[in-house]
Amino acid sequence: MGDHVVEVTHPDRVLFPDAGITKGEVVDYYRRVAEVMLPHLRGRPLMLQRFPRGIDASGFYMKDVPDHFPDWVHTAAIPRRERGGTIEQAFLCDQPAALVYLANQGTLTFHVWPTRADRLDTPDLMVFDLDPPDGDVTSLRDAARSLRDVLQELSLVPFLQTSGSKGYHVVVPLDGTTDLDAVRDVARGVAEYVAGHDPDRLTTAQRKSKRGDRIFIDTNRNAYAQTFAAPYAIRARPGAPVATPIDWHELGRAEPTSYTVGNLFRRLGQKHDPWADLHEHATGLDNARGRLAELVEAAAR
């Protein structure tokens, strides 16, 4: 692809037995989706989730680039915050050939940091992961809308994607002027405020044993080296679902696994990427922090 040749190995190996989807089809999916997906990967450290033998076999996560990978698969030197502060070479994906090469290595899911490689401590995304304990999609949609409404009250612009797994991701673009700790604090404050207004259905409890059958508003992605499933990434679940950006008006009909390798291109043929202009809506958090404090104070009266 371009100036690089990627030989697809074992193209007939079945990676999704239930749907009969092969490695060759997965690689071709990433080749075709590269144009719309790469803007969401470019410049961000990645964690790869690889299943070389398919989803019915053991998979593994990979953060550090092996020495034998070609030098045109670009990397970024990332300091670890543990292990004595050693350096790892994180994956970057900024060209179609790299996306295809990594897919050929058995990568199914690309997970992205909410920060960029050149600004590791100042996120340009704030991420909320709505994690339900069961398949109650109605309550899940209500939770997403409640979260959206509060974020808009804070003059922030929330974007939405199906996770391709159990829930939805709500993502707010930031201008990169707020440090990680402050972003995490605001995200946690928003989640606690939203959950506090619907405590029978929503929770921010970290321990599963304390959540019961409530939806967990997870803000843990807003921390150093944390990731979330990239837009248009395949998930390692039956049917080969895809994490898919959607417009808010689509929430009523789009379930977390509605879009798959088999139907995603039909959607893209009819609709532009809802996240294409995401960063045009980026803002800082100073005003949002103040408004959130006012809301919390009013709720306590």
Give residue 87's pLDDT band: very low, low, confident or very high (50, 70, 90): confident
Is 192 inside a domain boundary? yes
Report pTM: 0.96
Q: How confident is the model at residue 89 (pLDDT cuts 50, 70, 90)?
A: very high
Least confident of 27-41, 73-87, 191-205: 73-87
Could you tell me which of 201, 83, 197 has the C-alpha nearest to residue 140? Answer: 201
**Region 114-131: what's the mean pLDDT?**
97
Q: Is the pLDDT of residue 37 over 70?
A: yes
SS3 of residue 212 by DSSP: coil
Q: What is the CA radius of gyration of the chain?
A: 19
Cα–Cα distance measured from residue 148 to residue 168, given in angstroms and rounded to the nearest whole number: 12
240 is written with which tokens? 């080969």
pLDDT mean over 36-50: 98
Work out the average pLDDT over 187-198. 98
Contact 108, 52 (CB under 8 A): no
Angstrom distance (rounded) from CA 127 to CA 114:
7
Both tokens of residue 25? 């089809």
pLDDT tens, position by position, 62-78: 999 998 999 999 999 99
- Residue 1: the pLDDT is 64
Whether 179 is in a domain gets the answer: yes
In sequence order, the β-bridge partners of residue 46 are 91, 112
CATH of the domain at 131: 3.30.70.3300
Q: Would you say residue 74 lies in a domain?
A: no
Look at residue 165 and tell me if it is in a domain. Answer: yes
> With pLDDT > 90 as the criterion, what percentage of the chain qualifies?
92
The token duo for 68 is 């034998």
Residue 290 falls within a domain, yes or no? Answer: yes
Residue 155: inside a domain: yes
Domain hosting 208: range is: 125-224+281-300
Residue at 160 is within a domain: yes
**Count of domains forming the chain:** 1
In percent, how much of the chain has pLDDT > 70? 98
